[in-house]
Structure 1
Amino acid sequence: MRDDERLRARLGERLREAGCLCTAPWRAAVEAVPRHEFLRGGFFEQLPGTLPTAWRPVLPDGGGRWLERCYADESLVTQVAGTVVPGDIRGEIMRAPTSSSTMPSLVVRMLEELRVEDGHRVLEIGTGTGYSTALLCHRLGDGSVVSVEVDREVSGRAAAPLGACGYQPELVVGDGLAGHRDGAPYDRVIATCGVLTMPGSWIDQTKPGGIVLATVGGWLYASELARLSVHGDGTASGRFLGGQISFMLARPHLPPPLGLLPDLGSGEERRTTLGPNLLTGDWTARFVAQLAVPRAQHISMTIEGRTQQILIDVEAGAWAVLTEADGGWTVRQGGPVRLWDAVEAQVARWRADGAPALDRFEITVTPDEGQVIRWPGGRRSRG
Structure 2
Amino acid sequence: MHSPDASDSARAAGALRLLDEIARTRTEPVPAHWREALRDVPRDAFLPGRLWLRDGAGGHRPCDRSHDPDGWLAAAYSDAPLVTRFVTESDGTRSPASSASAPSTVLRLLEDAQLTDGARVLEIGTGSGYNTALLCARLGAASVTSVEVAADLAARARAHLAALSYHPTVVHTDGARGWPPTAPYDRVLATCSVRAVPAEWLDQTRPGGRITTPWDSAWSCYGTLNLTKRQDRSAEGRFSAYGSYMLISGQRTDVELHRDVLRPGQSPVTRTTGLSPWDVAGADPGLDLHLGLTVPGAWYSWDTEGGTAHTRLWLADTSATSWASVDYDGRQTETFAVAQYGPRRLWDEVAAARERWLLAGAPDIGRYGLTVAPGVQRAWLDTPDTPVP
Of 39, 51, 58, 1:43 maps to: 51
Partner of 1:323: 327
Q: Is 1:281–2:273 an aligned residue pair? A: no
Partners in 1 of 2:62 and 2:45 — Cα distance? Answer: 20
In 2, Cα distance between the equivalents of 1:183 and 1:274? 52
1:81-96 to 2 correspondences below 5 Å: 81=87, 95-96=94-95
> Structure 2 residue aligned with 1:291, among 286, 290, 293?
293
Where do 1:45-84 residues align within 5 Å? 45-49=53-57, 53-60=59-66, 63-81=69-87
Q: Per the alignment, in what secondary structure is the counterpart of residue 2 of structure 1? A: helix
Q: CA deviation at 1:340?
A: 1.5
1:366 maps to 2:369: no
Aligned-residue offset at 1:99: 0.5
What SS is found at the alignment partner of 2:13?
helix
Q: Distance in 1 between matches of 2:44 and 2:60?
A: 24
1:253 corresponds, among 239, 244, 251, to 251
Partners of 1:271 and 1:100 in 2: CA distance:
42
Which structure 2 residues correspond to residues 17-32 of structure 1 after superposition, within 5 A?
17-19=24-26, 22-32=30-40
Partner of 2:317: 313
Which amino acid is 2:282 matched to?
T
Q: Which runs of 4+ in 1 moved over 4 A?
A: 60-63
Match of 1:347 in 2: 354
* Residues 1:281 and 1:41: Cα distance change in structure 2 (over 3 Å): same
Structure 1 regions of 5+ residues with no counterpart? 84-92
Q: Which residue of 2 aligns with 1:88?
A: none
- Over 3 Å counting, the alpha-carbon distance change for 1:215 and 1:63 in structure 2 is closer
Change in CA separation of 1:62 and 1:274 when aligned onto 2, cut-off 3 Å: closer
Using the alignment, how far apart are the partners of 1:209 and 1:251 within structure 2? 28
Taking structure 1 as reference, are residues 62 and 335 closer, same or farther at Cα in structure 2, changes over 3 Å only? closer
Deviations, residues 80-132 of structure 1 (Å, cap 9, x unaligned): 1179xxxxxxxxx9611110111111111211221111111100011111000
Contact 1:194 1:248 in 2 (8 A): yes
Say which is worse superposed, 102-111 or 61-70, in terms of deviation: 61-70
Return the letter of the residue paired with 1:366. Answer: A
1:303 counterpart = 2:307: yes
The equivalent of 2:3 in structure 1 is none
Distance 1:280 1:353, change over 3 A: closer
Q: Is the 8 A contact 1:125 1:191 kept in 2?
A: yes
Deviations 1:303-361 (A, max 9, x none): 33533211111416111111125532122111112112211121111111111111111
State the TM-score, normalizing by the size of structure 1.
0.89
Match of 1:118 in 2: 117
| Superposed counterparts of 1:199-210, under 5 Å | 199-210=198-209
Query: In 2 relative to 1, CA 216–49 (structure 1 residues): closer, same or farther, beyond 3 Å?
Result: closer
> TM-score of the superposition, structure 2-length normalised?
0.88
Provide the secondary structure at the position in 2 that maps to 1:280. coil
Q: In structure 1, which of residues 34, 40, 44 is the aligned counterpart of residue 42 of structure 2?
A: 34
Equivalences for residues 210-225 of structure 1 within 5 A: 210-225=209-224
Paired residues of 2:65 and 2:73 also in contact (CA < 8 A): no
Distance in 2, Cα, partners of 1:347 & 1:297: 14
Q: Aligned equivalents of 1:320 and 1:249: distance in 2?
A: 25
Instruction: Give, in whole Å, the separation in 2 of the partners of 1:118 and 1:335.
Output: 54
Q: For residues 224 and 4 of structure 1, what CA distance do their matches in structure 2 show? A: 31
Q: SS state of the match for residue 153, structure 2?
A: helix
Aligned length: 368
Contact 2:50 2:62 in 1 (8 A): no
* Stretch deviating more after TM superposition (287-296 or 158-167): 287-296
Kept after mapping to 2: 8 A contact 1:212/1:230? yes
Q: Report matched runs for 1:174-189 at 5 Å.
A: 174-189=173-188
Q: CA deviation at 1:61?
A: 5.4
One-letter amino acid of the counterpart of residue 15, structure 1: I
The one-letter code matched in structure 1 to 2:64 is V
- In angstroms, what is the RMSD of aligned CA positions? 2.3
Q: CA separation of 1:195/1:21 partners in 2, compared to 1, >3 Å: closer, same or farther? A: farther
In the alignment, is the contact (CA less than 8 A) between 2:369 and 2:380 conserved in 1? Answer: yes
